[in-house]
Amino acid sequence: GENVEQHPSTLSVQEGDSAVIKCTYSDSASNYFPWYKQELGKRPQLIIDIRSNVGEKKDQRIAVTLNKTAKHFSLHITETQPEDSAVYFCAASIFLGGAGGTSYGKLTFGQGTILTVHP
Protein backbone atom coordinates (compact mmCIF):
# COMPACT_ATOMS: atom_id res chain seq x y z
CA GLY A 1 0.00 0.00 0.00
CA GLU A 2 0.87 3.67 -0.09
CA ASN A 3 3.53 4.96 2.29
CA VAL A 4 4.17 8.65 2.94
CA GLU A 5 7.39 9.85 4.59
CA GLN A 6 7.56 13.40 6.00
CA HIS A 7 10.59 15.44 7.04
CA PRO A 8 11.62 17.09 9.24
CA SER A 9 9.75 15.91 12.33
CA THR A 10 10.40 19.25 14.04
CA LEU A 11 11.19 22.65 12.56
CA SER A 12 12.02 25.81 14.46
CA VAL A 13 12.24 29.18 12.68
CA GLN A 14 12.31 32.86 13.52
CA GLU A 15 9.31 35.02 12.68
CA GLY A 16 9.63 36.26 9.10
CA ASP A 17 11.75 33.33 7.94
CA SER A 18 10.57 30.70 5.46
CA ALA A 19 9.73 27.11 6.36
CA VAL A 20 9.84 24.09 4.07
CA ILE A 21 8.40 20.66 4.81
CA LYS A 22 9.01 17.76 2.45
CA CYS A 23 7.12 14.51 1.79
CA THR A 24 7.78 11.52 -0.39
CA TYR A 25 5.24 8.89 -1.42
CA SER A 26 5.62 5.36 -2.68
CA ASP A 27 2.64 4.69 -4.96
CA SER A 28 2.92 6.32 -8.36
CA ALA A 29 -0.88 6.05 -8.71
CA SER A 30 -1.33 8.75 -6.05
CA ASN A 31 -2.52 11.97 -7.63
CA TYR A 32 -4.06 14.13 -4.91
CA PHE A 33 -1.86 15.69 -2.23
CA PRO A 34 -3.40 17.82 0.53
CA TRP A 35 -1.68 19.52 3.46
CA TYR A 36 -3.34 19.86 6.84
CA LYS A 37 -2.55 22.09 9.82
CA GLN A 38 -3.47 20.80 13.25
CA GLU A 39 -3.30 22.99 16.33
CA LEU A 40 -3.14 21.40 19.76
CA GLY A 41 -6.43 19.74 20.65
CA LYS A 42 -8.10 20.75 17.39
CA ARG A 43 -9.13 19.12 14.15
CA PRO A 44 -6.83 18.92 11.10
CA GLN A 45 -7.61 21.83 8.79
CA LEU A 46 -6.99 21.73 5.06
CA ILE A 47 -4.65 24.57 4.14
CA ILE A 48 -3.70 23.79 0.56
CA ASP A 49 -3.80 20.90 -1.88
CA ILE A 50 -2.50 19.96 -5.30
CA ARG A 51 -3.47 17.45 -7.94
CA SER A 52 -1.04 15.68 -10.18
CA ASN A 53 -1.91 17.70 -13.27
CA VAL A 54 -0.34 20.74 -11.59
CA GLY A 55 3.30 21.26 -10.58
CA GLU A 56 2.86 24.18 -8.21
CA LYS A 57 0.05 25.97 -6.41
CA LYS A 58 0.20 29.10 -4.30
CA ASP A 59 -2.19 30.72 -1.84
CA GLN A 60 -0.85 33.91 -0.28
CA ARG A 61 2.08 32.89 1.99
CA ILE A 62 1.63 29.17 1.36
CA ALA A 63 2.73 27.19 -1.67
CA VAL A 64 2.97 23.53 -2.57
CA THR A 65 5.18 21.99 -5.23
CA LEU A 66 4.88 18.51 -6.71
CA ASN A 67 7.47 16.42 -8.54
CA LYS A 68 5.68 13.31 -9.81
CA THR A 69 8.80 11.84 -11.37
CA ALA A 70 10.63 11.89 -8.05
CA LYS A 71 7.43 11.19 -6.09
CA HIS A 72 7.82 14.05 -3.68
CA PHE A 73 5.96 17.19 -2.77
CA SER A 74 6.74 20.09 -0.48
CA LEU A 75 5.00 22.79 1.55
CA HIS A 76 6.54 26.25 1.57
CA ILE A 77 5.50 28.90 4.07
CA THR A 78 6.97 32.37 3.61
CA GLU A 79 7.08 35.26 6.09
CA THR A 80 6.21 32.93 8.96
CA GLN A 81 4.20 34.25 11.90
CA PRO A 82 3.81 32.88 15.44
CA GLU A 83 0.26 31.77 14.58
CA ASP A 84 1.72 29.42 11.97
CA SER A 85 3.02 27.31 14.88
CA ALA A 86 1.24 23.94 14.70
CA VAL A 87 1.66 20.37 13.48
CA TYR A 88 1.57 20.04 9.71
CA PHE A 89 0.62 16.81 7.94
CA CYS A 90 1.02 15.91 4.30
CA ALA A 91 -1.17 13.23 2.74
CA ALA A 92 -1.62 11.35 -0.51
CA SER A 93 -4.66 9.83 -2.15
CA ILE A 94 -5.19 7.55 -5.13
CA PHE A 95 -7.81 8.07 -7.82
CA LEU A 96 -10.00 4.97 -7.79
CA GLY A 97 -11.97 5.71 -10.92
CA GLY A 98 -15.31 7.23 -11.82
CA ALA A 99 -16.32 10.83 -11.31
CA GLY A 100 -16.40 13.16 -8.37
CA GLY A 101 -14.87 13.13 -4.91
CA THR A 102 -15.88 9.57 -4.13
CA SER A 103 -13.51 8.43 -6.83
CA TYR A 104 -10.60 9.38 -4.55
CA GLY A 105 -9.68 6.82 -1.95
CA LYS A 106 -8.32 7.08 1.54
CA LEU A 107 -5.82 9.69 2.65
CA THR A 108 -2.46 8.27 3.71
CA PHE A 109 -0.78 10.72 6.07
CA GLY A 110 2.83 11.49 6.84
CA GLN A 111 4.08 11.42 10.43
CA GLY A 112 3.73 15.17 10.90
CA THR A 113 6.05 18.15 11.39
CA ILE A 114 5.93 20.27 14.53
CA LEU A 115 6.55 23.84 13.34
CA THR A 116 7.51 26.43 15.94
CA VAL A 117 7.79 30.08 14.91
CA HIS A 118 9.64 32.19 17.47
CA PRO A 119 8.66 35.88 17.75
Partner 1 sequence: DAGVTQSPTHLIKTRGQQVTLRCSPKSGHDTVSWYQQALGQGPQFIFQYYEEEERQRGNFPDRFSGHQFPNYSSELNVNALLLGDSALYLCASRGSGTGGYEQYFGPGTRLTVT
Region 94-113 residues binding partner 1, contact defined as CB under 8 A? 96, 99-102, 104-112
Are the C-beta atoms of 10 and 113 separated by less than 8 Å?
yes
Number of residues that bind partner 1 (CB under 8 A): 28
Are the C-beta atoms of 88 and 119 separated by less than 8 Å?
no
42 binds partner 1 (CB under 8 A): yes
Work out how close the CB of 60 gets to partner 1 at its nearest, in angstroms, rounded to a whole number: 18
Please state the three-class secondary structure of 85-108 as a single string.
CEEEEEEEEEECCCCCHHHECCCE
Binder of partner 1 out of 34, 37, 74, 86 (CB under 8 A): 34
- What's the CA gap between 34 and 64, in Å, rounded? 9
Tell me the per-residue interface mask from 45 to 64 with partner 1, x by CB under 8 A, - otherwise: xx--x-x-------------
Radius of gyration of the chain (CA): 14
Q: Which residues bind partner 1 (CB under 8 A)?
A: 6, 32, 34, 36, 42-46, 49, 51, 89, 91, 93, 96, 99-102, 104-112
